[in-house]
Structure 1
Amino acid sequence: MKISGQFLSPTRQAEIEPFETAQRPVVGFSCNYESGLWSGFHSHPRAQLMYAVSGVMRVDTLDTSYVVPPTTALFLPAGAQHAMGMDGPVALRELFLTEDAAGRVGNMPKVIAVSGLLREVILAACAEPVDWEPQGRGHHLAELALDEIARATPLPLSLPLPRDPRLRKVIEALRERPHDTRGIEAWSEVANTSARTLARMFRSELGLSFRQWRQQTRLTEALRALTLGTSPARAAAIAGFESTPAFGAAFRAHFGITPGQARKLQPGAAP
């Protein structure tokens, strides 16, 4: 992903602060971002649910990378160090949750499916003032949002990230060029180590073999491309498949939907 600039400026932080310190258990925050922006690592004092009405977000924590296409949202607990990047223009609609509210939906990061109901609740919550009436519409929206988030289905849209700088170098290169066909012997030269050591590092740090991690990366990148309108044939090439039907079978086995269904995860312009 090409990065053209960072957006977490002091001005932006000042805009977000009222939502991070609000007295209400759930408050909504809206902002639209240009393509290619990158936030750099930061954290928030409150848990957050990050949902893009349109566009695709990539969110990295210290040990995991998440791809967040439309119809999904990422839940992050309070204090989680993370960085956000925008693949194309992104219309972000975000909920900030107090400690008590977050305790009702979980304490671990997760990507969830956003139902039609949850989508409308998020949009409605973002239209409410920060200090909504405790017994008014905002209260009912908050309760419904928390219930829907807790019930939502977690999705396999995360990739483990390493801490070892040698392995990190290989990982970053693979993420930039998921279709690269070089084997682990060639990548060991990039890491300046032996193929055996590199294979051991994949297992010990990521819990996956080199082939498994690369396959998961390729499928995740293919999903991202599909949600941006790429054809299934092109997505198959991104994932390293010569056969589109074989790609479709692997894609469905991993994500539970077909490439054609993934292409439909493109809602219209943000309200």
Structure 2
Amino acid sequence: MAAWPITALAKDYPRGWHVPKHRHRRGQLIYAKAGVMQVTTREGIWIVPPQRALWIPLGMEHEIQMEGQVAVRMLYLDRSNSALFGSHCKVLSVSALLRELILAAVQAHADKRRKRMVVLAHLLLHELQEAKEEALHIPVPSDPRLKTVCQRLLAGTSRVESLEQLATHVGASSRTLARLFESELQMSFVRWRQHVRLARALSQISQGRAIKAVARDAGYASCSAFSSMFRRVLGITPTHYMTQATEPSAASSSPM
């Protein structure tokens, strides 16, 4: 029997579930129907809310942390189709049509309807190639000093610390640390920390926390300032995102 053009699977995970490092022989599109995932690869940390999907090239080692309950939908592409999407991870915007195609493919695969999957595969590949790439990427450093600082920021233990305070903590000058952010991560300290705060905000919003509280925890003095940043990065307001984000109906602990 001929191989399926695309393999589509559905798995639901409980809050806080961690999928350890692994890799696939096929390219993978990973999409959260509900909930937020944090995916880590050698290229960085990728935040994946319900309106986005992450392309992971074949052979790319990755691990996944579930922020809240997450309903994961996955597509696996063969080598020839994987080549269409490149050899680097990227976050893609998921339109209403693409979302329904992903869900339809998952159902067709579950029902073993191969002919239907063949038809869906053509549409899926077209829509994926047309999808806009989004900047939900947190690069990771190699310098030990910068790595320590970034781990503190990711853990939330240094939410109010300045660059100068962080530099002192790792025995470096603030100028050296600022230069490392630019040279290793290609973004300023302020922008990198903003991406981390946004990642935390996505997780909190998906769990139903009030936007005012999320904005305060992210270090913003007002909801309007937080909303402006949120919309600039994600293209929608926090309120719109909260409306679109839905919790999965069930969760299980099956490995990916």
2:58 maps to a residue whose letter is A
Aligned residue for 1:209? 188
Q: Partner letter of residue 213 of structure 2?
A: R
Given the superposition, is the C-alpha separation of residues 153 and 125 from structure 1 closer, same or farther in structure 2, using an over 3 Å criterion? same
TM-superposed CA distance for 1:270, in Å, is: 5.0
Q: In 2 relative to 1, CA 242–133 (structure 1 residues): closer, same or farther, beyond 3 Å?
A: closer
Question: Aligned equivalents of 1:255 and 1:71: distance in 2?
Answer: 9
2:11 is paired with a residue whose SS is strand
- Aligned position for 1:229: 208
Match in the other structure for 1:269? 248
Query: Does structure 1 conserve the Cα–Cα contact (< 8 Å) formed by 2:68 and 2:206?
Result: no
Partner of 2:43: 63
Any residues of structure 2 matched to 1:46-57 within 5 Å, and which? 46-57=26-37
Aligned residue pairs, count = 249
CA distance in 2, matches of 1:133, 1:226: 37
Which residue number in structure 1 is paired with residue 253 of structure 2?
none
CA distance in 2, matches of 1:239, 1:133: 46
**Structure 1 residues 91 and 133: alpha-carbon distance in aligned structure 2, compared to 1, 3 A threshold:** closer
* CA drift at 1:130: 7.9
* Structure 1 residue 172 displacement after superposition: 1.4
Counterpart in the other structure of 1:3: none
Could you tell me which residue of structure 2 aligns to residue 155 of structure 1?
134
Change (3 A) 1:24 1:131: farther
Among 212, 225, 228, the alignment partner of 1:246 is: 225
Worse-matched range after superposition: 174-183 or 204-213: 174-183
Contact 2:14 2:70 in 1 (8 A): yes
Match of 2:171 in 1: 192
Q: 1:83 corresponds to which letter in structure 2?
A: E
Alignment equivalent of 1:39, drawn from 2, 14, 19: 19
- The answer for the alignment partner of 2:55 in structure 1 is 75
Residues 9 and 74 in structure 2, CA contact (< 8 A), matched pair in contact too: yes
8 A contact 2:35–2:203 mirrored in 1? no
Matched, 1:182 2:146: no
> What TM-score do you get using the length of structure 2 for normalisation?
0.89
- 2: CA distance, partners of 1:256 / 1:208: 20
Query: C-alpha distance in 2, partners of 1:130/1:229?
Result: 31
Paired with 1:173 and 1:158, the residues of 2 have a C-alpha distance of 18
Counterpart CA distance in 2 for 1:113 and 1:53 is 13
Q: Check conservation: 1:47, 1:76, Cα contact below 8 A.
A: yes
Determine the C-alpha separation between the residues in 2 that align with 1:53 and 1:254: 20
Unaligned runs of at least 5 residues, structure 2: 251-256
Find the residue that maps to 1:104 and give its secondary structure. helix
State the match for 1:257 in structure 2: 236
Other-structure match for 1:25: 5
Alpha-carbon distance in 1 for matches of 2:13, 2:192? 30
The CA RMSD measured in Å over matched residues stands at: 2.2
Letter in 2 for 1:170: V
Give the whole-Å Cα distance in 2 for the aligned partners of 1:153 and 1:228.
26
**Percentage of matched positions with identical amino acids:** 38
Q: 1:93 — aligned with what?
A: 73
Structure 1: 5+ residue stretches without partners = 1-21
- Deviations, residues 68-99 of structure 1 (Å, cap 9, x unaligned): 11121111111112110101121111000011
Q: 1:115 aligns to what? A: 95
- Larger RCO (CA within 8 A; separation ≥ 6): 2
For residues 194 and 247 of structure 2, what CA distance do their matches in structure 1 show?
A: 31
In structure 2, what is the equivalent of residue 84 of structure 1?
64
Stretch deviating more after TM superposition (248-257 or 81-90): 248-257
